[in-house]
Structure 1
């Protein structure tokens, strides 16, 4: 176990500015309070103490008392103080209790509110009056209902930190381009993070979406915009390189992106796994993935492998033709697939259910040459 006292001594000894009893006492109090009372590690306490200096623990005690009274656990309190150290020097009623009371008035309370505040500590850094209230009010006006405004906040709490001005500016840009109101509403309700970016970053994403062939008036535009703005340029290029490594051309990429921009939100790992599985085990062609890029977003473990297992059994029993449309079978809703391939054959082939849940599919093998896909 680390000797926290020794850490304090070593840390204090490295500070050239702390060379008197007057200045070292508050620092010592701060380090001790952060570790022993707030639960921070000595290393983290040393870092935090550069940002706050506790001269008296009276106000800090009130802050912790208020957090405990509102149900925050010791671990949650440690997380909050570690990320928002200035909170411990603030007036607990003005900076904390009023925020808690406001969110409770919106129906966000208890474990849900505590979790939001711990995961998204930025909420505790911004002003209730200057940032939180105006942003929620703007969302209410924009979305027409309190329920939708609260839904958006819960979906992406940091939207509070970016403020109504940024959201409004980005929405004005979309409207100026002719993006339909239903599309704008879908964007903010489904992907509110997309509208939280700085105006210049948001504008760059719009230009790139248009350069890739997505028109602002099309339904796919907001999907393209979200896909682009949700990742860094380096990450975007890395994913493109993965696709190219499997033989995709620039034309293939553009065709796939225009058909379904959302496929680019799949991780690099998922893209590699999907390409390898579809081409080697599911016996699909590269063109199948170009035409149906959403195959990248379907879970291999939960959906693709179980369905391929069922198709393999049905083919081996001669219950379905070997030129079955695999892409269509994988793209169906769960209910439609089960109705078409399980319910219709479970009496003639009782092992279907076991195949469906065992997930033991190893590949269509020699059947590859005769399987037809889109």
Structure 2
């Protein structure tokens, strides 16, 4: 046993190559000013500080202090600043007036909040390397015009900063052309770019294949809004994930054909987690007494929030029925799809005279379902 352990120790180096180099460097030469500054003032590890100090040289803290102070004044945390420096070492010597401030001020002016801006730049610091006038402003403008507003462009960039780094023509435009050519409706394309830009860009080389596979699943009309949702299911789920979702519905008596026909009616029903599928079906069938076949006929009900809508409304309606306050029959689909205002007008307000406590009961059931206290 001792012999085996000795051989293992002899084969395994005590230090990583980088750590050994750091120890050797520290033993033979005093650390550079830049190395010490990066460790002590920026919070970098010795390994990261060595990497950065091999790429930037400075002998005083004046320039790095100026760059770091600009980031701090715009809401960047110490850990975010450290992460940016690791990804883009030359940031620490960037000119506040020429490189940093104009771009940060512009991005704030179009609607990026402090936290959104800090998160986006931390993920993609190379945005700050691009020309403001020649690249950032025109590309943000193209995206804004396509999506219909600054706030929608910000949503897309938050999900994929690559749009702002590489530009609209290199990232969004090729995807839009393929989708349009295949007949996907314009509103769906806008929604996909706004909310799923990263997924689309990651899958760009397979986009034609994904479109064909989606059509083959029964979505033969790309101009329908649900086609875009079905595309995301095809992109985002592996074969094993599909099987697990089908199996989850199978536990409630659905055949594979049942699950796939429900998917064609409402693609969101197969994009839910297995936990949500089981929880929602369990509530409808076990607590409310519905047949699972009814849910198969109304699969869009599955995608609603169990805690915020399904449970409180169903339990409140059950309370009305048990106290003889419901004189007409109401379908589950209607009960759950009407707006909150219409729900209150139809099911709560008409009974307040004879049962003034109903509003409190509904609020209590809603807050209990959401796990919060009634204010």
How far off is 1:171 after superposition? Answer: 0.9
Distance 2:174 2:29 in 1: 48
How far off is 1:202 after superposition? Answer: 3.2
How far off is 1:133 after superposition? Answer: 4.7
- Mean CA deviation greater in 241-250 or 302-311: 241-250
Query: Which of these residues, 88, 94, 105, is aligned with residue 91 of structure 1?
Result: 94
1:114-153 matched pairs, under 5 angstroms: 114-119=115-120, 121-126=122-127, 127-129=129-131, 132-133=136-137, 135-140=139-144, 142-143=146-147, 149-150=153-154, 152-153=156-157
**Structure 1 pair 132/234, CA: closer, same or farther in 2 (3 Å)?**
farther
Structure 2-normalised TM-score? 0.76
Counterpart check, 1:175 vs 2:180: yes
Higher relative contact order structure (alpha carbons within 8 Å, sequence separation ≥ 6): 1
**Structure 1 pair 168/267, CA: closer, same or farther in 2 (3 Å)?**
same
Equivalent in the alignment of 1:48: 48
Counterpart check, 1:103 vs 2:107: yes
1:192-271 matched pairs, under 5 angstroms: 192-214=197-219, 215-230=221-236, 234-271=240-277
Structure 1-normalised TM-score? 0.76
Distance 2:207 2:99 in 1: 31
How far off is 1:219 after superposition? Answer: 2.3
Gaps of 5+ in 1: 1-9, 363-374
Distance 2:16 2:34 in 1: 13
For the aligned residue pairs, the C-alpha RMSD in angstroms reads 3.7
Distance 1:241 1:301 in 2: 24
Equivalent in the alignment of 1:68: 72
**Structure 1 pair 51/168, CA: closer, same or farther in 2 (3 Å)?**
farther
- Mean CA deviation greater in 242-251 or 172-181: 242-251
Residues 255 and 291 in structure 1, CA contact (< 8 A), matched pair in contact too:
no
How far off is 1:342 after superposition? Answer: 0.9
How far off is 1:282 after superposition? Answer: 1.8
Gaps of 5+ in 2: 1-14, 369-375
Equivalent in the alignment of 1:4: none
Residues 48 and 85 in structure 1, CA contact (< 8 A), matched pair in contact too:
no
**Structure 1 pair 38/248, CA: closer, same or farther in 2 (3 Å)?**
farther
User: How many corresponding residue pairs?
Assistant: 345
How far off is 1:128 after superposition? Answer: 1.8
